[in-house]
């Protein structure tokens, strides 16, 4: 509440604080809702939080830590970063940050950068293979440290982008699920930020002044198709606010019988029920045929 004695700068500060509190509450609420809807976290879980040094993973760690304090279940969080030996990777940033926050962590070192440079031809995008190598190393490490869950920082907009990438370029109706079993079958991957907007995460990260480590130290460009999709979604949201929410809701509201995938719906066995014969003119008043005039002609008449 503004009082008569407030200076303009104190008022602006109060307003900014209120806005930030709202943003934080929204991120907590949406993360909590996703966790509950998909039963992402259970009592006794030991969760490996993958921390890349980008805005999404810092925000995820921060929100999970804050939810941990008031959650009805008890769970552990362990931050893990993979140093992929990209040139100029600032090794000191994450250890300093995590020690300051009092978060237990592991930093792994594996030179996936050299592998990627060796196997990907010059000029081709390297993100696909780089991410696969990173995931493989991290998931195997989760087993080693006894983590039954692995938390990834993908948010709602990442999920929608992936959906459209698969739709436009892959010929598949497929996105990134909020929860899935890792290929190894030994741990479950969760995406607690699945309901959060990227813009909210960006605003939160800016406010918190996280020590961001850019992902393009390797010199690679973000996948061009993904950039195009991102711009398309941003433009849609500007022109039709709320469209992304609606599209995300559609991912949670699938009607397999209204699509065309025989593996999801048994079209082969679709059979009409036998129709009881009704003498002409005896349709019940409820039937749409009761008020329908029928003109019949047949060549044999």
Q: Provide the annotated binding site for [4Fe-4S] cluster.
A: 127, 130, 218
x/- contact string, 68-87, with ligand SF4 (CB under 6 A)?
Answer: ------------------x-
Tell me the residue number closest to ligand SF4, measured at CB.
130
Task: Give dist(CA 171, CA 164) in Å, integer.
Answer: 10
Stretch that binds ligand SF4, among 16-24, 102-110, 163-171, 212-220 (CB under 6 A): 212-220
Binding site, residues?
127, 130, 218
Query: Would the CA dihedral through 215, 151, 83, 55 be positive or negative?
Result: positive
Stretch that binds ligand SF4, among 73-81, 125-133, 137-145, 271-279 (CB under 6 A): 125-133
Q: How far is the CB of 127 from ligand SF4 (least distance, A)?
A: 3
CB 159 within 8 A of CB 245: no
Q: How far is the CB of 218 from ligand SF4 (least distance, A)?
A: 3
Applying CB under 6 A, among 61, 130, 147, 160 the residue interacting with ligand SF4 is: 130
Q: How far apart are the first and last CA of the chain?
A: 86
Counting contacts by CB under 6 A, is residue 215 touching ligand SF4? yes
CB 129 within 8 A of CB 120: yes
Burial of 122 (0-12, 13-18, 19+ CB in 10 A): exposed
Nearer to ligand SF4, 131 or 262 (CB): 131
Task: Give dist(CA 174, CA 166) in Å, integer.
Answer: 6
Stretch that binds ligand SF4, among 9-17, 98-106, 141-149, 213-221 (CB under 6 A): 213-221
Q: State CA 178 to chain mean position distance.
A: 6
Counting contacts by CB under 6 A, is residue 220 touching ligand SF4? yes
Task: Give dist(CA 179, CA 1) in Å, integer.
Answer: 42
- What token pair was written down for 294? 């029928």
Applying CB under 6 A, among 101, 216, 278, 287 the residue interacting with ligand SF4 is: 216
Nearer to ligand SF4, 182 or 218 (CB): 218
CB 66 within 8 A of CB 175: no
Q: How far is the CB of 173 from ligand SF4 (least distance, A)?
A: 25
CB 182 within 8 A of CB 139: yes
List interacting residues with ligand SF4 (CB under 6 A). 86, 126-127, 130-131, 215-216, 218, 220
């Amino acid at each position: 509440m503004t009082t008569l004695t407030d200076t303009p700068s104190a008022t602006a500060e109060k307003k900014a604080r209120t806005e930030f509190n709202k943003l934080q509450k929204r991120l907590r609420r949406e993360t909590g809702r996703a966790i509950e809807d998909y039963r992402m976290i259970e009592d006794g879980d030991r969760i490996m939080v993958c921390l890349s040094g980008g805005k999404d993973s810092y925000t995820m760690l921060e929100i999970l830590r804050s939810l941990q304090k008031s959650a009805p279940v008890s769970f552990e969080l362990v931050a893990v970063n993979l140093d992929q030996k990209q040139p100029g990777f600032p090794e000191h940033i994450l250890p300093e940050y995590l020690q300051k926050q009092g978060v237990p962590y592991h930093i792994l070192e594996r030179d996936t950068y050299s592998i990627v440079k060796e196997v990907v031809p010059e000029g081709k995008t390297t993100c696909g293979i780089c991410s696969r190598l990173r995931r493989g190393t991290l998931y195997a490490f989760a087993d080693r440290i006894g983590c039954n869950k692995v938390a990834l920082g993908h948010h709602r907009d990442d999920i929608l982008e992936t959906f459209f990438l698969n739709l436009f370029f892959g010929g598949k109706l497929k996105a990134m699920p909020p929860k899935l079993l890792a290929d190894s079958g030994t741990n479950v991957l969760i995406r607690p930020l699945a309901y959060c907007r990227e813009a909210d995460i960006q605003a939160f990260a800016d406010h918190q002044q996280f020590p961001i480590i850019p992902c393009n130290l390797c010199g690679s460009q973000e996948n061009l198709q993904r950039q195009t999709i991102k711009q398309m979604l941003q433009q849609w949201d500007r022109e039709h606010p709320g469209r992304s929410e609606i599209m995300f809701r559609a991912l949670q509201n699938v009607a397999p019988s209204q699509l065309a995938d025989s593996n999801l719906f048994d079209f082969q066995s679709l059979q009409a029920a036998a129709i009881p014969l009704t003498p002409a003119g005896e349709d019940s008043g409820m039937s749409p045929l009761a008020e329908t005039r029928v003109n019949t002609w047949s060549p044999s008449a």
